[in-house]
Chains A and B, each alone.
Chain A
Amino acid sequence: MDTRRKSNKDGAEKPALKKKASSIGTGGNNGNGNAGFAHRAKTDLEVMFDKYRDMTRDADERDVIWKKGIILMGEDLGVTDEVTILLLPWKLQSCLSWGIQRGEWFHGLTNAKVTSHVKLRSLFTQLKEEVGGTPEVFGEFYGYLYDFLREDRGKHMDPSIAMEYWQKLLAKRFKYLKEWTTYVETAEPFKSRGVSRDLWKQLYEFAASTESLAAHEPDGPYPVLIDDFVEWARAKK
């Protein structure tokens, strides 16, 4: 499972890109401008893809929209909210961290019947609605983000990234977010090792299903860190 998580750092190892039907969007271009079939006009998707992908990189890495491009796209589309822009990679099920590959872009957007700038904009609105609906869908989105946001290739997510995004994602969905961030800042093994996928996911479950601290049972299936948190929080009250 881990083989798909590759580093996003420039100059680090070469990522092993998954070539998913990459011929669909290429049209024989190979990323080199209008060589070959010159007389067909570029589709909107192609235009956008070319705009946002990083041409400064070499070879395969060029066929990916990296972080800068994603942020730029967000600005262009008027999607200012950091979280909302993440909806797109989720929809496309991008498997790189902070990267949208060519195949994913074209395949995914075509399936979603998005062929233009305008439609892309409205896609965001649609996705926002989808995710704001049931907690399960948001949970899926949230869970997906663990691998997307995790830049480091290690086994755990860096604590600072986790903290940042917990604030962004769970502000309105986690009653005890403030206490949690206070507690977890100094708690081991979080501080030194970071957040495991299980902890990330279970925190959302905890947030979604816990009405009050008093009701939490320490012998349940939640990770130990969450149990400790509840104990600490109860003691504070």
Chain B
Amino acid sequence: MFPNKTKAKKGADTKPPETFEKEWQKMEDSFNELLTFIEGGMLTPDPGHYKRSMGAYAVVYNICTKHEGAKMGVNFAAELYKRAKSLVEKHLEEKVTKQVIQKTGDALLQEVHKEWRTHALIVKWTRFMFKYLDDYYTKSPIIDTLTIMMLKCFHSAVFDKIKDNLRHVILANIESERDGNTINKEVLRSAIWLFIDMGMNTCDVYDEELEKVLIKQTKQYYKKESVKWMAEEGGQHTYLKRAEARINEESRRADSILAPTTKGPLLKALDDELLAPHIETCLKCPDAGCEALLQSERNEGLGRMFRLFSRVEGGLDQMAGIVKDHIEKEGKLLNSKFSTGSAGESGEAASTTYIKSCLTLHDKYTVLFEESLSKHEVFTKARKAAFEVFINPQQSDSWALKQKSKDGMEIVTTSELLSTYIDSIIKKEMESEEQLDAILEKSVTLFTYIHDKDLFQQFYMKQMSRRLMHNKNQRLLDQERSQIGKLKMKMGSAFTSKLEGMLADQSHADDHNRRFKQHLTSNQEAKLPIDFTPMVLTTGFWPAFKHDQLVPPEEMKICLEQYEKYYAKATQSRKLTWIHSLGHATVSKKFAKGPRDMSVTTYQACVLVLFNATGSVLVKEAQETLSLPFEEIKRTIHSLAYGKYPVIKRADGAKVKQVKETDQFVINEEFHTNSRKFKIPAVVKQERESITDTNQEQRRHVIEACIVRIMKSRRTLSHNDLVTETIKQLSHLFSPDMRIIKKRIEDLIQRQYLERDEQNRNQYRYLA
């Protein structure tokens, strides 16, 4: 409640303007009192002042609410406003400006800091005193609020006169701090924020007067700095460290004293001056550049490089390029190590070593990417590109994989090596399943880099078929299944359908055998002379096997016939063809030094059984009796006579290793080996060529089918489009040679599936 209220009401109609002047004087007095307090250094006036301010408020209120103003044609509110303004102006001009203008340098900062704080207080209390005006008078949009009005006074009276000096001092301070000196951050901050406040709810003044210049100065400063650093000895090595330090420093400073909006452009200025022009130099620097860091595996340095260059547009691309080149180089080195390495044994160890080292290389970079490069995809892409280069060499490339063979150096493909590696891993029977699974998972990652995936499929099928036929434990089957599952996820079910078929056959085999045994027991006539376990393969799933005309010994014959009878009864309209080249048997013999059990192939077993009839066997006769090609007989006898376990020997005892038609062989009665049971390995033909050839053949069909499919749906297509589309559709399986595609097109034209367009030679048309 206002103490003067009743008084005011009483004199409502009768007070003349002189009263106004009297009341005004009260206001002026209050104002001066306020100034005294503030200049006296007191920031918070005493409680009494508050009461007095309330009085001032009441005065204003009274003056304004009188109606006589309207009668006299005087707008008291406007008058009060005008006078308040001039009060403030006078004070500023007479006292404040004079003080401030004289100062320079840091003293200026201090003075500004003080005056601005003071002015804030003045604004606060004056506003309180004249608050009534704010409630009504200044609501009009053309009239500034008291705060704004007073700010504007400060702006024109003080700020405009000192702003250039002030700016100069601010910039000098910042530069000084950059150079390493300490400055008074508090006053600096307040000076900077003065610029902001002078914008009156916009940042325009700040932006124009301060920020622009600051950024320009920053640029110049760092331009010089960067040149200086580079010129120093060893400067290139430490450049990035310094740059990062500076960036952090500027960031901290911006947070503490600048407007939040400045941080972005400021840091960008740093990026533009410190980083962008020097990216290449830093990347290519011989000792501390990207290549060098990769070489010495300094992940921390790489991390810094990554952090900094990701700030600059296109910076990471250059870095990724170097990473790719480096990985490529390392990979090619692995290739040549393989090619020149030991071809001593069957080269199997070499393939394992090679694949293992590829996987290690891959892992090394996974670690790097995760730890230091934030798994940024530009690097994973680079690694993929690099791997694809050295994993898929062309025959003519210097880093092609080669292996020594009988006829010189042979080209080996990664498809084969990887398949062989997986083969060895599965056969090895590791202790822990997780370990095995982890290795297999990685090998599948490597698989995705291979271009000739169809060739891998061929090798894998061949090797898996052998695994399935020799080893029948459940654990192995589970592993096979899991591996196929992994491949299926990457390639789709079409790729793995045959493999799954093979597995299915394997699991049915037990089933069949059980039923076969039942059949035998129920059929009293059928008693097999030897232990017999057949396995049925469905033709479409398994790789093609050569059929032979082997005439097996009597004991075997009985078993085969029995099984054929059973199978004909158990199934409908199926034809069984025996593939003896795949079978194996156990043959026992009582040698002079003890009985022995030999694990041999079916062929070997048939040859050995011949010796039951006659002590000495002529090679030619063996060939005729067994009805096998001479090459096969030769190989088989060779493995029995000149291998690690020579169970037969030449009748004439000559020391030759060649087997001829006319040679006679007898059992080596003196044969001895320590173990009771052992395996006589048969000579395995070199399959690489045949598998590669089969694959080429298959590709021809695949390409043709693809071309026909494309043309059928598109009807007419230009040559380039057809080729591009074909390559695209086949890319997930293999990368076709342009030449082969053209040849297939020609062939299809010949066979009238397609024709060339009459008018446009470049166009093909589908012929229904």
A contact set with B: CB distance below 8 Å = 1, 155, 196-199, 201-202, 205, 218-221, 223-224, 227
Chain B residue at minimum C-beta to C-beta distance from A222: B742
Once A196-B750, A198-B749 are accepted as A-B contacts, the answer to whether A224 and B719 lie under 8 Å apart by CB is no
B720-763, CB < 8 A from A: 720, 723, 738-739, 742-743, 746, 749-750, 752, 756, 761-762
Show 28 A/B contacts (Cβ-Cβ < 8 Å), sorted by A: A1-B752, A196-B746, A196-B749, A196-B750, A197-B750, A198-B746, A198-B749, A198-B750, A198-B756, A199-B746, A201-B756, A202-B761, A205-B761, A218-B738, A219-B720, A219-B723, A219-B738, A220-B719, A221-B719, A221-B756, A221-B761, A221-B762, A221-B764, A223-B742, A224-B739, A224-B743, A227-B739, A227-B742
CB contacts (< 8 Å) of A227 on chain B: these are 739, 742
Which of A155, A198, A199, A218 has the largest count of B CB atoms less than 10 A from its CB?
A198
A219 to B741, CA, bound (A): 10
Residue of A nearest to B720 (CB): A219
Q: Which 9 A-B pairs have the closest CB atoms?
A: A221-B719, A198-B749, A224-B742, A224-B743, A223-B746, A221-B762, A196-B750, A205-B761, A219-B738
In the complex, the chain A residue whose C-beta lies closest to that of B744 is: A224
B761 CB contacts on chain A under 8 angstroms: 202, 205, 221
Nearest residue, chain A, Cβ from B745? A221
Q: A198-B756, A218-B738 given; name 18 further pairs at CB < 8 Å.
A: A196-B749, A196-B750, A198-B746, A198-B749, A198-B750, A199-B746, A201-B756, A205-B761, A219-B723, A220-B719, A221-B756, A221-B762, A221-B764, A223-B742, A223-B746, A224-B742, A224-B743, A227-B739
**What CA separation (Å) do A155 and B756 show in the bound complex?**
18
In angstroms, Cα B755 to Cα A196, docked, is 13
- Determine how close the nearest CB of chain B comes to the CB of A206; give it in whole angstroms: 10
Chain B interface size, as a band, is 10 to 19
A141–B749 Cα gap in the complex (Å)?
Answer: 21
Q: Give Cα A219 to B762, complex, Å.
A: 11
In chain B, what residue has the closest Cβ to A218?
Answer: B738
- Which residues of A are found within 8 Å of B742, using beta-carbon distances? 223-224, 227
Known: A205-B761, A221-B761, A221-B762. A155 touches B746 (CB 8 A): no
- Residues of chain B contacted by A201 (CB below 8 angstroms): 756
Report Cα–Cα, A168/B721, bound state, in Å.
36
Q: How far is the CB of B456 from chain A (nearest CB, A)?
A: 27
B764 to A, closest residue via Cβ: A221
Contacts of B720 in A (CB 8 A): 219
Tell me, in angstroms, the Cα distance from A198 to B719 when the chains sit together. Answer: 15
**Closest A residue, CB atoms, query B760:** A221
- Measured in the bound complex, the distance between the Cα atoms of B749 and A199 in whole Å is 10
Chain A residue nearest to B723 in the complex (CB):
A219
| Separation of A58 and B739 alpha carbons in the complex (Å) | 49
Residue of B nearest to A220 (CB): B719
Inter-chain contact A155/B750, CB cutoff 8 Å: yes
Interface centre among B720, B743, B752, B761 (most CB of A within 10 A): B761
Min C-beta distance of B174 to chain A, whole Å: 62
Nearest-neighbour CB distance to chain A for B239, whole angstroms, equals 46
Q: Mark B706-724, 1 if CB is under 8 A from A, else 0.
A: 0000000000000110010
User: What is the distance, in angstroms, from A188's C-beta to the closest C-beta of chain B?
Assistant: 12
Quote the shortest CB–CB distance from B719 to chain A (angstroms): 4
C-alpha spacing A198/B764, complex, angstroms: 12
